[in-house]
Amino acid sequence: MIRMTRCRLTIWLALSVPALMSGCGRDRSEPEAVPATPPQVVSPQPAAPAVDPTAPPVSVREVAGWQLVPNPRAGVAYQYVRTNHTEPFRPSVTVTLHESSQPTLEAYATAERNSLVQANPSMVIIAEQIMTTQTPPVAKIVFQYERDQQKLQVMQLYFLRSSGQVVIVTFQSLISQWEHLQPEFKQVLAALQVAP
């Protein structure tokens, strides 16, 4: 009777605490059966995306004297503005992403130039350049226009990815500040890791 009660107690403990697995009446010299491990099914890993050699590595870094601000305009990835200027003519550097149906950088730059002139007939284009020997290749358009009786100058750099996406870096300031800001514009461009 005592042995049966101890046996029932041992069974109850074994069922209550999985760590205690010494069964009552079992020959402990016998090895316990090890359940067979089902073969592991290894799912194929997705292939790493192809590296686009023409894609500029656009990234964000802090730049002294410049501040990142939100810009709700469609396509704008981010925008830097100079901290010690007031609206509405704060010098700015804007990075925009566009999808292009143009097959080449030259075609895209030409289409963009025509679109700019059509949108603002008073705009004056003062420089155009396509640098295909650069890595990545880049097109540049520099133009001037007038807004609220203030004369502004803009430089746009276009980087065309092989996927058809275009990275546009736009520099803008008052004409009177343009030359003074050139070293700072270069600092922002270096922070973006996009070579002109």
Instruction: Please give the Cα distance from 128 to 136 (Å, whole number).
Output: 17
Angle (CA) 182-185-187 rounded to 5° is 115
Residue 72: pLDDT band with limits 50, 70, 90: confident
Q: Domain 66-191 classified CATH 3.40.50.850?
A: no
Lowest model confidence (mean pLDDT) among 23-27, 76-80, 96-100? 23-27
Per-residue pLDDT tens for 44-59? 554 444 444 444 445 6
Percentage of the chain exceeding pLDDT 70: 66
Instruction: Please give the Cα distance from 52 to 157 (Å, whole number).
Output: 19
Q: Give the model's pLDDT for residue 42.
A: 52
User: Across-strand partners of 68?
Assistant: 80
Residue 7: pLDDT band with limits 50, 70, 90: very low
Residue 96: pLDDT band with limits 50, 70, 90: confident
Position 170 pLDDT exceeds 70: yes
How far is the CA of 8 from the CAs of 4, 16, 22, 27, in angstroms? 6, 12, 13, 17
Q: Give the model's pLDDT for residue 39.
A: 57
Instruction: Return the H-helix or E-strand segment holding 10.
Output: helix 2-16
Mean pLDDT of the chain: 74
Q: Give the model's pLDDT for residue 36.
A: 59
